[in-house]
Amino acid sequence: MRPIGIVGNLSRDRIDGGPPCTGGGAFHCARGLRAFGRLGVIVTRSSVDDRRELLPPLVRLGLPVRWRPGEPTTAFALDYDGEERRLAVEAISEPWAAEDALGWVRNSLRGVEWVHVAPLLRSDFPPETIAALARGRRLSLDGQGLARVSAVGPLQLDPHYDPEVLRHVSILKLAEDEAQLLVGGFDERTLSHLGVPEIVVTLGSRGSIVYADGLVEHVPARPRAADPTGAGDAFAAVYLACRATRFSPVAAAQRATALVGDLLVGRAA
Protein backbone atom coordinates (compact mmCIF):
# COMPACT_ATOMS: atom_id res chain seq x y z
CA MET A 1 0.00 0.00 0.00
CA ARG A 2 1.53 3.30 -1.09
CA PRO A 3 1.71 6.19 1.39
CA ILE A 4 -0.26 9.38 0.95
CA GLY A 5 1.47 12.75 1.10
CA ILE A 6 0.79 15.70 3.38
CA VAL A 7 2.22 19.10 2.45
CA GLY A 8 1.92 22.11 4.74
CA ASN A 9 3.57 24.33 7.32
CA LEU A 10 3.98 23.69 10.99
CA SER A 11 2.66 26.47 13.18
CA ARG A 12 3.45 27.81 16.61
CA ASP A 13 0.14 27.73 18.50
CA ARG A 14 -0.91 29.21 21.83
CA ILE A 15 -4.20 27.64 22.96
CA ASP A 16 -6.33 29.39 25.59
CA GLY A 17 -3.31 31.36 26.77
CA GLY A 18 -1.14 28.30 27.32
CA PRO A 19 2.51 27.84 26.32
CA PRO A 20 3.44 27.60 22.63
CA CYS A 21 2.96 24.17 21.10
CA THR A 22 3.30 22.44 17.74
CA GLY A 23 0.38 22.98 15.40
CA GLY A 24 -0.41 23.28 11.73
CA GLY A 25 -1.96 21.00 9.16
CA ALA A 26 1.15 18.88 8.73
CA PHE A 27 1.16 17.94 12.43
CA HIS A 28 -2.55 17.29 12.87
CA CYS A 29 -2.84 15.38 9.59
CA ALA A 30 0.02 13.17 10.76
CA ARG A 31 -1.85 12.49 14.01
CA GLY A 32 -4.84 11.36 11.98
CA LEU A 33 -2.78 9.07 9.77
CA ARG A 34 -1.05 7.51 12.75
CA ALA A 35 -4.39 6.79 14.42
CA PHE A 36 -5.68 5.28 11.17
CA GLY A 37 -2.56 3.16 10.79
CA ARG A 38 -1.81 4.46 7.30
CA LEU A 39 1.69 5.35 6.15
CA GLY A 40 2.16 8.94 5.08
CA VAL A 41 5.03 11.19 4.05
CA ILE A 42 4.89 14.55 5.82
CA VAL A 43 6.47 17.43 3.91
CA THR A 44 6.69 20.51 6.08
CA ARG A 45 8.47 23.71 7.03
CA SER A 46 9.12 25.98 10.01
CA SER A 47 11.72 28.59 10.84
CA VAL A 48 15.20 27.38 11.65
CA ASP A 49 14.90 28.87 15.14
CA ASP A 50 11.67 26.96 15.88
CA ARG A 51 12.77 23.63 14.43
CA ARG A 52 14.17 22.23 17.68
CA GLU A 53 10.93 22.95 19.54
CA LEU A 54 8.24 22.26 16.92
CA LEU A 55 9.61 19.35 14.89
CA PRO A 56 10.14 16.63 17.59
CA PRO A 57 6.39 16.16 18.39
CA LEU A 58 5.82 15.53 14.68
CA VAL A 59 8.77 13.16 14.33
CA ARG A 60 7.62 11.19 17.39
CA LEU A 61 4.45 10.21 15.53
CA GLY A 62 6.64 7.79 13.59
CA LEU A 63 5.89 8.87 10.01
CA PRO A 64 8.59 9.90 7.51
CA VAL A 65 9.14 13.67 7.74
CA ARG A 66 10.82 15.88 5.14
CA TRP A 67 11.60 19.36 6.54
CA ARG A 68 12.96 22.56 5.04
CA PRO A 69 13.16 26.07 6.51
CA GLY A 70 10.34 28.52 5.93
CA GLU A 71 10.66 31.93 7.51
CA PRO A 72 9.13 32.87 9.84
CA THR A 73 7.03 30.12 11.41
CA THR A 74 3.32 30.84 11.06
CA ALA A 75 1.94 31.52 14.55
CA PHE A 76 -1.58 31.62 15.99
CA ALA A 77 -3.34 32.39 19.25
CA LEU A 78 -6.48 30.25 19.69
CA ASP A 79 -9.18 30.70 22.32
CA TYR A 80 -12.14 28.32 22.66
CA ASP A 81 -15.63 28.63 24.13
CA GLY A 82 -17.08 25.19 23.47
CA GLU A 83 -17.00 24.74 19.70
CA GLU A 84 -16.68 28.49 19.16
CA ARG A 85 -13.14 29.59 18.39
CA ARG A 86 -11.41 32.97 18.30
CA LEU A 87 -8.20 32.90 16.35
CA ALA A 88 -5.53 35.56 15.84
CA VAL A 89 -2.63 35.43 13.40
CA GLU A 90 0.67 36.36 15.04
CA ALA A 91 3.14 35.60 12.22
CA ILE A 92 2.95 34.55 8.55
CA SER A 93 5.41 32.29 6.75
CA GLU A 94 6.61 32.85 3.20
CA PRO A 95 4.65 31.14 0.37
CA TRP A 96 5.60 27.72 -0.97
CA ALA A 97 7.07 28.28 -4.42
CA ALA A 98 6.42 26.25 -7.56
CA GLU A 99 10.18 25.60 -7.59
CA ASP A 100 9.75 23.89 -4.18
CA ALA A 101 6.95 21.71 -5.57
CA LEU A 102 9.01 20.71 -8.60
CA GLY A 103 12.23 20.25 -6.60
CA TRP A 104 12.66 18.97 -3.07
CA VAL A 105 8.93 18.41 -2.51
CA ARG A 106 8.63 16.30 -5.65
CA ASN A 107 11.62 14.25 -4.58
CA SER A 108 10.08 13.78 -1.12
CA LEU A 109 6.80 12.56 -2.65
CA ARG A 110 8.31 10.13 -5.14
CA GLY A 111 5.83 7.29 -5.66
CA VAL A 112 2.99 9.13 -3.87
CA GLU A 113 -0.26 9.33 -5.87
CA TRP A 114 -2.62 10.99 -3.35
CA VAL A 115 -1.61 14.27 -1.68
CA HIS A 116 -3.36 16.53 0.80
CA VAL A 117 -2.29 20.18 0.78
CA ALA A 118 -2.85 21.87 4.15
CA PRO A 119 -2.54 25.67 3.91
CA LEU A 120 -2.92 27.73 7.04
CA LEU A 121 -3.57 30.99 5.19
CA ARG A 122 -4.39 32.04 1.62
CA SER A 123 -0.81 33.01 0.80
CA ASP A 124 0.68 29.57 1.59
CA PHE A 125 0.10 27.91 -1.78
CA PRO A 126 -0.28 30.12 -4.88
CA PRO A 127 -2.09 28.64 -7.92
CA GLU A 128 1.14 27.79 -9.75
CA THR A 129 2.37 25.83 -6.73
CA ILE A 130 -0.91 23.90 -6.48
CA ALA A 131 -0.64 23.08 -10.20
CA ALA A 132 2.91 21.79 -9.73
CA LEU A 133 1.93 19.66 -6.72
CA ALA A 134 -0.95 18.11 -8.66
CA ARG A 135 1.17 16.85 -11.56
CA GLY A 136 0.60 13.10 -11.80
CA ARG A 137 -1.29 13.04 -8.50
CA ARG A 138 -4.79 13.28 -7.07
CA LEU A 139 -4.82 16.37 -4.88
CA SER A 140 -6.91 17.26 -1.85
CA LEU A 141 -6.99 20.85 -0.54
CA ASP A 142 -8.05 22.37 2.78
CA GLY A 143 -10.38 25.31 2.17
CA GLN A 144 -8.56 27.43 4.73
CA GLY A 145 -6.32 28.29 1.79
CA LEU A 146 -9.28 29.88 0.04
CA ALA A 147 -10.96 31.80 2.85
CA ARG A 148 -8.29 32.89 5.33
CA VAL A 149 -6.81 36.33 4.65
CA SER A 150 -3.04 36.54 5.11
CA ALA A 151 -2.84 39.38 7.62
CA VAL A 152 -1.54 39.66 11.18
CA GLY A 153 -4.24 40.27 13.79
CA PRO A 154 -7.67 38.73 14.41
CA LEU A 155 -8.30 36.15 11.71
CA GLN A 156 -10.17 37.57 8.74
CA LEU A 157 -12.17 35.54 6.23
CA ASP A 158 -13.27 36.75 2.82
CA PRO A 159 -14.42 35.04 -0.41
CA HIS A 160 -11.90 36.69 -2.75
CA TYR A 161 -9.66 33.74 -3.58
CA ASP A 162 -8.10 33.11 -6.98
CA PRO A 163 -10.30 30.47 -8.71
CA GLU A 164 -7.20 29.14 -10.46
CA VAL A 165 -6.31 27.50 -7.13
CA LEU A 166 -9.13 24.98 -7.64
CA ARG A 167 -8.38 24.06 -11.25
CA HIS A 168 -6.24 21.05 -10.27
CA VAL A 169 -8.05 20.06 -7.04
CA SER A 170 -9.86 16.70 -6.94
CA ILE A 171 -11.12 16.86 -3.33
CA LEU A 172 -11.88 20.00 -1.30
CA LYS A 173 -12.35 20.01 2.48
CA LEU A 174 -14.30 22.98 3.85
CA ALA A 175 -15.39 23.98 7.34
CA GLU A 176 -19.01 25.07 7.69
CA ASP A 177 -18.18 28.78 7.93
CA GLU A 178 -15.96 28.53 4.85
CA ALA A 179 -18.73 26.93 2.80
CA GLN A 180 -21.18 29.63 3.88
CA LEU A 181 -18.67 32.35 3.05
CA LEU A 182 -17.57 31.01 -0.35
CA VAL A 183 -20.85 29.80 -1.85
CA GLY A 184 -23.60 30.55 0.68
CA GLY A 185 -24.30 27.02 1.84
CA PHE A 186 -23.65 23.35 1.24
CA ASP A 187 -26.41 21.92 -0.92
CA GLU A 188 -25.89 20.44 -4.39
CA ARG A 189 -26.51 23.72 -6.19
CA THR A 190 -24.22 25.90 -4.10
CA LEU A 191 -21.32 23.43 -3.82
CA SER A 192 -21.39 22.77 -7.57
CA HIS A 193 -20.39 26.41 -8.13
CA LEU A 194 -16.89 25.62 -6.86
CA GLY A 195 -16.24 23.30 -9.80
CA VAL A 196 -14.59 20.59 -7.65
CA PRO A 197 -15.99 17.07 -8.18
CA GLU A 198 -15.75 15.99 -4.53
CA ILE A 199 -16.26 18.25 -1.50
CA VAL A 200 -16.53 17.49 2.21
CA VAL A 201 -17.93 20.13 4.57
CA THR A 202 -17.18 19.48 8.25
CA LEU A 203 -19.88 20.54 10.72
CA GLY A 204 -18.14 19.95 14.05
CA SER A 205 -20.23 17.82 16.42
CA ARG A 206 -22.97 17.56 13.74
CA GLY A 207 -20.77 15.50 11.43
CA SER A 208 -20.13 16.35 7.80
CA ILE A 209 -21.69 16.89 4.38
CA VAL A 210 -20.31 14.88 1.45
CA TYR A 211 -20.78 16.18 -2.09
CA ALA A 212 -19.90 13.67 -4.83
CA ASP A 213 -21.40 12.70 -8.20
CA GLY A 214 -23.57 15.82 -7.99
CA LEU A 215 -25.33 14.68 -4.80
CA VAL A 216 -25.10 15.67 -1.13
CA GLU A 217 -25.32 13.30 1.83
CA HIS A 218 -25.10 14.08 5.56
CA VAL A 219 -22.80 11.92 7.69
CA PRO A 220 -23.71 12.33 11.38
CA ALA A 221 -21.27 12.30 14.29
CA ARG A 222 -21.58 11.51 17.97
CA PRO A 223 -20.89 14.69 20.02
CA ARG A 224 -17.66 14.45 22.03
CA ALA A 225 -16.41 16.73 24.82
CA ALA A 226 -12.82 17.35 23.70
CA ASP A 227 -10.35 19.98 22.49
CA PRO A 228 -11.20 20.29 18.76
CA THR A 229 -7.85 21.78 17.68
CA GLY A 230 -6.68 20.03 14.53
CA ALA A 231 -9.85 17.95 14.11
CA GLY A 232 -10.44 19.20 10.57
CA ASP A 233 -6.88 18.41 9.54
CA ALA A 234 -7.01 14.90 11.01
CA PHE A 235 -10.37 14.35 9.32
CA ALA A 236 -9.01 15.45 5.93
CA ALA A 237 -6.00 13.13 6.18
CA VAL A 238 -8.04 10.09 7.20
CA TYR A 239 -10.68 10.85 4.55
CA LEU A 240 -8.01 10.97 1.84
CA ALA A 241 -6.37 7.80 3.13
CA CYS A 242 -9.73 6.03 2.95
CA ARG A 243 -10.40 7.29 -0.57
CA ALA A 244 -6.95 6.09 -1.62
CA THR A 245 -7.95 2.67 -0.24
CA ARG A 246 -11.09 2.63 -2.46
CA PHE A 247 -13.62 3.64 0.18
CA SER A 248 -16.60 5.49 -1.30
CA PRO A 249 -16.82 9.21 -0.37
CA VAL A 250 -19.58 8.59 2.21
CA ALA A 251 -17.81 5.56 3.69
CA ALA A 252 -14.59 7.57 3.89
CA ALA A 253 -16.38 10.37 5.77
CA GLN A 254 -17.97 7.86 8.15
CA ARG A 255 -14.61 6.27 8.94
CA ALA A 256 -12.89 9.63 9.35
CA THR A 257 -15.67 10.93 11.60
CA ALA A 258 -15.47 7.93 13.92
CA LEU A 259 -11.69 7.84 14.10
CA VAL A 260 -11.23 11.58 14.69
CA GLY A 261 -13.84 11.49 17.46
CA ASP A 262 -11.90 8.74 19.20
CA LEU A 263 -8.63 10.58 18.61
CA LEU A 264 -9.89 13.79 20.24
CA VAL A 265 -11.33 11.97 23.24
CA GLY A 266 -8.06 10.08 23.66
CA ARG A 267 -6.16 13.36 23.70
CA ALA A 268 -8.49 14.82 26.32
CA ALA A 269 -8.25 11.76 28.59
124 vs 143: CA distance, rounded Å: 12
Q: What is the mean pLDDT of residues 137-163?
A: 97
Given 50, 124, 142, 233, the catalytic residue: 233
- Under 8 Å between Cβ of 32 and 42: no
Q: What is the pTM of this model?
A: 0.94
| pLDDT greater than 80 at residue 227 | no
Among the ranges given (127-136, 160-169, 184-193, 257-266), the one the predictor scored with the smallest mean pLDDT: 257-266
Q: What is the pLDDT of residues 42-96, one digit of tens each?
A: 999 999 999 999 999 999 999 999 999 999 999 999 998 876 789 999 999 999 9
- The residues, any chain, with a CB within 8 Å of residue 173's CB and separated by 6 or more, are 140, 141, 142, 143, 199, 200, 202, 232, 235, 236, 239
Q: Of 15, 18, 31, 24, which Cα lies nearest the Cα of 46?
A: 24
Q: Percent of the chain, pLDDT > 70?
A: 95
Cα 181 from Cα 149, distance rounded (Å): 13
Which of 150, 145, 186 has the alpha carbon at shortest distance from 166?
145
Strand partners of residue 202: 175, 208
Peptide bond into 72 cis (omega under 30): yes
Cβ-in-10-Å burial (0-12, 13-18, 19+) of 135 comes to exposed
Q: Assess whether 50 carries a catalytic annotation.
A: no
DSSP state for residue 162 in the 8-state scheme: -
Q: What is the pLDDT of residues 41-56, one digit of tens each?
A: 999 999 999 999 999 9
Q: What is the mean pLDDT of the chain?
A: 93
Helices (H), 121-173: 127-133, 144-147
Are the C-beta atoms of residues 146 and 37 closer than 8 Å to each other?
no
User: How many of the other CB atoms lie within 10 Å of CB of 229?
Assistant: 20
